[in-house]
Each structure stands twice: as structure tokens, then as C-alpha cells.
Amino acid sequence: MWYFSAMDDRWSDLWNSFLDTALGLLAELDELMSARHGLSALWFQVLAVLDEAPDGHLKLNDLARVIRLSQSGATRLVDRLEKEGLLERINCPSDRRVVYTTLCPRGKAAYEAALPDWKTFLESRFANPLGEDQLTVLGKLLMRLKPAQTSLEKCPEQLSS
């Protein structure tokens, strides 16, 4: 099956190039956010996800799914961000087993302070080198490759801190 042998090298090269690009961009962003805002790229992503979440909060297991961490990894990350005063846990009033995460004022301020650098990073690494047509194509291709993600659930009642 000569076809599969030739394709294996091609797909392997493509995968390695994709991974090298993604990890390289992540390292660049991590360095930028750390130097200018004291945030890792992952911390910034958590703040961004919570800022954009329905009602400003997510269940801990939904946050784990969105940022692609295990439940225990997300719990450790939330512990650290909570100690830094960037977010807090809130119990769902209708189900005491459910814990939500939400931004604290300090977390909201940190996110808003870092957001202009995030936008500049995106512009310099995507918009400027690619242009609108290529960005559109890239976006469509990435959406086709994106792993499935289940929908996020809202708490049936208003949360209180």
C-alpha cells in the first residue's frame, strides 16, 4: 500500500508543522502576557473565557472542558487563580454539589489591562501576515478540525457570592 506510506509522511509533517506553529505562538503569547501583565497565556485564556461566559460564570467542569484541562488540572488552576484574587468560586443555590467560577474585580481588571496586548498579538501574528481572505480560509479549516465540545449549562437560579 504505497499510498498510505507516502501519506503517513505527509500527514506527519503537516501535524508537526501545525503543532510547532501552535506551540510557538502559545510560547510567544505566554512570554508577552507574563512580562507585561504577570499572567500566563493559560491564565489569560481562563479570564477571557469567564469574561465572555453566559452570566459571567461557568461550572468548574465546563471551564475544564473549554480550556481543555482535566477536572483535577482545572481545579488546581482555579485554586491558584483564586489565591491570586483573580476569580472566585460560587455555589449554585439550587444544587450544592455544583460550583461555579467567576471573575473577581481584580481578575476583570487584569483581563481588561491585558486585552489590548492580546489584540495586538492577534493582529501581528494573524491579520498582518495573512490578510482577510487567508484568515477566512484558515478560520474555516480550523473549525472543521476542531474537536467537539458540549454546550455549557446555566445555573437555573441567580448566583450569589
Instruction: State mean pLDDT over 67-94.
Output: 93
What pTM value is reported for the model? 0.83
* pLDDT tens-place string over residues 28-64: 999 999 999 999 999 999 999 999 998 889 999 999 9
**How many domains does the chain contain in total?**
1
For residue 18, report the phi and psi dihedrals to the nearest 5 degrees.
Answer: -60, -50
What pLDDT does residue 73 have? 93
What is the percent of the chain where pLDDT is above 90? 68
Q: Exposed, middle or buried, 46 (CB in 10 Å: 0-12/13-18/19+)?
A: buried
**Any domain includes 46:** yes
What pLDDT does residue 9 have? 79
Domain ranges, residue 123:
32-145
Examine the pLDDT at 2 and tell me if it is beyond 90: no
Examine the pLDDT at 3 and tell me if it is beyond 80: no
The CATH number given to whatever domain includes residue 131 is 1.10.10.10
**Any domain includes 151:** no
pLDDT confidence of 7, banded at 50, 70, 90?
low
**Any domain includes 87:** yes
**Any domain includes 125:** yes
pLDDT confidence of 79, banded at 50, 70, 90?
very high
